[in-house]
Amino acid sequence: MNKTQLVNVKPPCIYYERCGGCQLQHLSNESQNQVKQEIAEKYLSSFGKVEDILVMEHPYEYRNKIQYSFGYGRKKELIAGMYAENSHSIIDIDQCIIQDPQADRIIHTTKKIMKKYKMEPYQEDRETGFLRHVLIRTGFTTGEVMVVLVTAHSIFTGKKNFIQLLTKEHPEITTIIMNINNRSTSMILGDKETTISGKGYIEDILCGMRFRISSKSFYQINPKQTEVLYNTALKMADFKGNERILDAYSGIGTISLIAARQVREVIGVEVNPDGVRDAIKNAQTNQVNNVHFYQADAGEFMQELARRNEPIDAVIMDPPRSGSDETFLNSLCSLKPQKIIYISCNPETQARDLEYLLSHGYRVQKIQPVDMFPQTSHVETVVLITRENK
C-alpha cells in the first residue's frame, strides 16, 4: 500500500463527534484504509509482511445488528440511540449510516407506538419505566428481521397491540423476542426471554449455506465482508480433503460447516450454549454429517484433547477481543497441528498469542487484514501459522 498524507473530510454523520461508534469518519476512505493498515502493521509487522487490507466497496449500511437504548431527553421527549462515548447518556439517533437503514425505520415506528400508548422508557437513574433497549438483527440475504425488546420487567401492558402495530408497519419483521433485564447493569441482555411473535430466531445465508441465529448467539455483523474473511481463511488453510480439523470459538458453526465441505472431519467448540444449539441445527439444515459441536470452554476442551493425544491436522481459531488463554495455547502446542489459522478482531492480543506460538515451534506464513468494520478503527486479521519441524 502506498502511504501518503492522510486526507481529512467532513464526517458524513451528524452524530460523529458525540457518538463513540465510529472513529475514522473524518478521513477519506483511502486514508481510513491506510490507518487500518498501519494499526495491523504496528502489532504484526514483526512477524512478517502484512498484506494490503481487503476493503469493502461500499463501506456503509453494512451492520446487520443494531442495539439502541431508550430514555428521555432534556425536555422529557422520548429518545433512542447509542450511548455517547464513555458515558451512559443516550444520543437520539435518527439515522446511522453504517447500519441497515431498515432498522432505523423500525426504531422510528417503535417510538411512535410508545408515544401513542404512553409506554415509558426505562430510566436508569431512577430505575423506573419499561423499555430499556431494542436490538434488531437482519438476515441480509433472507430479508428476515428479529426484534428483541429488552424490558425492565415482565408485565408488558398492551403487548398484543404493540406487536400488531409494529408488524403491520414492518412485515419484514419475522420474529419478536421479549428479553427481561431487571438488573442495574451495563449488559444489554438479561437472562430470561420469551418469543412473543414468530419462530424465535432468524436465518441468513453465508457462502451458500443457511444459518439460524438466536438472539444471544454471536454472528458476524458485516456479512458481506464475512464471506471475504472466511474465503481468505480457507484459502490460506489450503485443505487437501483428508484432514481432521478443529474450529475453536465456533459460534453458530459458520466456519465449521463451510470448512466441512473441504475436509474429512470438523470438531467445533463454543462456550455459549445458544450458539452451540444453533450450530447443531445448522449442521442438520445443511445436511453436513462430518461435524461435531461441543459446548465447552475452548481452553479446557483443548486440554482434554491434548490429554487424549487426539490427532488434529489443523486448527482454525477465532477468539473474542481478549484473545486466547494460556491453557488453550499450551494445549494447542502439545496437539501439534501442522497448520493454525488464527482469525482475530484485535491485533494486539493476536500478537501476544503469536509470540507464544512462535516460541513453541511455529512460524508465521501469511498475515492478511480484512476490513470488517468500515468507519471504525477496528481491524480484523487472518494469520497462517505452520509447524517448523514435522
Q: Closer CB to ligand SAH, residue 144 or residue 278?
A: 278
Q: Closer CB to ligand SAH, residue 104 or residue 278?
A: 278
Q: Closer CB to ligand SAH, residue 110 or residue 303?
A: 303
Q: Collect all residues with Cβ–Cβ distance below 8 Å to 388 and sequence separation of at least 6.
A: 361, 362, 363
Residue 349: CB minimum distance to ligand SAH, A = 12
81: its cell numbers = 440511540
CA distance 335 to 348: 25
Residue 281: CB minimum distance to ligand SAH, A = 15
Chain residues that interact with ligand SAH, rule: CB under 6 A: 218, 220, 249-251, 254-255, 269-272, 275, 297-298, 318, 320
Residue 319: CB minimum distance to ligand SAH, A = 6
Q: Output the residue with the shortest Cβ distance to ligand SAH.
A: 251
Torsion on CA atoms 25, 27, 30, 35, rounded to nearest 10: -90
Residue 29: CB minimum distance to ligand SAH, A = 25
Q: Closer CB to ligand SAH, residue 255 or residue 283?
A: 255
Q: Closer CB to ligand SAH, residue 122 or residue 342?
A: 342
Q: Closer CB to ligand SAH, residue 207 or residue 271?
A: 271
Q: Closer CB to ligand SAH, residue 156 or residue 373?
A: 373
Half-sphere exposure of 81 (CA within 13 A, CB side): 23
Residue 284: CB minimum distance to ligand SAH, A = 18
> Which residue type, as a one-letter code, is found at position 271?
V
CA distance 18 to 25: 12
Residue 72: CB minimum distance to ligand SAH, A = 34
- Looking up cell 445443511, which residue turns up? 286
Cα R_g (the chain), whole angstroms: 22
Active site residue 333: no
Residue 88: CB minimum distance to ligand SAH, A = 25
Active site residues: 345
